[in-house]
Structure 1
Amino acid sequence: MSNSGLIRHIRSHPQPPAPVLACSKLALCVIPIAQIAMGAVHLDDCPRQHYIPIYLIVAGVFGLALSVLSCLPCSKTPEDGTSSPLSRVCTTWNSLTSCFLFCWFIAGNVWIYSIYQPNYIRNSTNLDPYCDRSLYLFAFWTTTLVYIILGLFLVGGCLVLFCFFLCGRADADDDV
């Protein structure tokens, strides 16, 4: 199979069954819901950096909105390749929301990593304000998880490109 045949096969591969898609969408909603809950429960529990709970709430709400919007029929492109005004609105909304989430993620990185290893003790006698341990560690690890996932995608993408490169060089007599 030539490179173009392989790519055509990948593009025409059927979608997974509806239950698999539904379960994956639900799994993607777990972290945003947990972010909203942790931020709301601990809204006043981080005087050291009071933006951390707000960061979690906003990131959770917009992440959940993006997940829910991806389930709507307007987010799907029709088979004939045309786009309706509604699909353009959905595409614009998804793009703006993704751009906002990217900027918000950068701001959250600054707020979280700038106070790394905060004082976790609420009634400490020192002048260093505290930050609730579970709130901070949740924000820290959910943010770090994004970097871990991005790294895995980067490595996986490089491996796929390498495999395509090897497949393209396999036979000189493949049709183009």
Structure 2
Amino acid sequence: MSENESQLPGRNDDGAAVTSAASDRAKTGLAKIKEKFLPGVRITLLISLIFYIAMFVIGIIGVHNCPVNENIPLFLIATGGIGLFSKSVSFIREKLMPHFTIQFVESSLYTAETVFLIFGSYWVFKVYKPSFYEGSSRYCQKTVYMFAFIYLAVLYALLLAILLGFFCFLGCIFFVKRTESDNRDPEAQAHMQGGPQENKEHGATTEQN
């Protein structure tokens, strides 16, 4: 009994060492993944910042240059400003996290961006196609309108592609499940058909006896 008790601490130490080693390997793997993808994330974030700055500036320039619908430059200003602020918050999240509730701020910004996206889509697509010649009653500066139009078109194309990919994924899963079910049905039917036949044969054998 004393020998078993003396062996238990050693086993516990070995288990703790194995667990610690596995945890260290997991942390090392996560650190390597972060180091590998962090440059790409930073580049994407930088590109997003440049894009939103351009959107904000173009919106300000076109404030009085789109009489067909003056809300279009407002859409660019609001979306560019919100996007710029949200990406800036994401960039400095680690520094603000101990002192500020970042999740609430980001959720509010994304909600506001979605609202402006809905209104902006209505404003932009409603006046398609405006005139790019000054003096026309349907005039809108070409840079302002085309920037907003292309932005919305690309965004909706990406959303559509994501939805199609998701439905294709669901369809593939359904097809695989259906195929597995069809492959199992003949075996089940054969087993069910074989059962009554065996019962009949057993009954006939019993009567003969």
TM-score by length of 1: 0.71
1:151 aligns with 2:160: yes
2:95 pairs with 1:95: no
Return closer, same or farther for 1:163/1:21 CA change in 2, 3 Å cut-off: farther
Go from structure 1 to structure 2 and tell me whether the alpha carbon gap of 1:95 and 1:46 turns closer, same or farther (over 3 Å shift).
Answer: same
Give 5+ residue unaligned stretches, structure 1: 1-11, 77-83, 172-176
Describe the shift of the 1:162–1:26 C-alpha distance in structure 2 as closer, same or farther (beyond 3 A). farther
> 1:54 aligned to 71, 74, 77, which one?
74
Alpha carbons of structure 1 residues 170 and 34: separation in structure 2 relative to 1, 3 Å: farther
**d(CA) in 2 for partners of 1:168 and 1:142?**
39
Residue 47 of structure 1 aligns to a residue whose secondary structure is: coil
Q: Structure 1 residue 166: deviation in Å?
A: 7.1
> What CA deviation, in whole Å up to 9, does each residue of 1:146-171 have, x standing for no partner?
10111122223334445666788999
Work out the percentage of aligned pairs sharing the same amino acid: 25
Q: Distance in 2 between matches of 1:58 and 1:119?
A: 24
AA partner of residue 121 (structure 2): N
Structural mapping, 1:20-169, within 5 Å: 20-74=40-94, 86=99, 89-124=101-136, 128-161=137-170
- The 1:20/1:165 distance shift into structure 2, 3 A limit, reads farther
- Partner SS state of residue 70, structure 1: helix
Residue 6 of structure 1 aligns with which residue? Answer: none
Give TM-score scaled by structure 2 length: 0.61
Count how many residue pairs are aligned between Structure 1 and Structure 2: 150
1:113 to 1:103, Cα distance in 2 relative to 1, 3 A: same
| CA distance in structure 2 between the partners assigned to 1:122 and 1:66 by the alignment | 35
Please provide the CA RMSD for this pair.
3.1
Higher relative contact order (CA 8 A, sep 6+): 1
- Distance (Å, rounded) in 2 between the aligned partners of 1:151 and 1:133: 26
Q: Tell me the alpha carbon deviations over residues 13-47 of structure 1, each in whole angstroms, 9 at most, x when there is no partner.
A: 73443222211111222321221121122221001
Distance 1:31 1:52 in 2: 17
- Structure having the larger proportion of residues in helix: 2
Q: Write the deviation string for residues 65-110 of structure 1: whole angstroms up to 9, x where unpaired.
A: 111212233499xxxxxxx8757x2111111111111111111111
Return the index of the structure with the highest Cα Rg.
2
Q: Distance in 1 between matches of 2:174 and 2:77?
A: 43
Q: Is the 8 A contact 1:59 1:101 kept in 2?
A: yes
- 1:74·1:90 contact (CA, 8 Å) conserved in 2? no
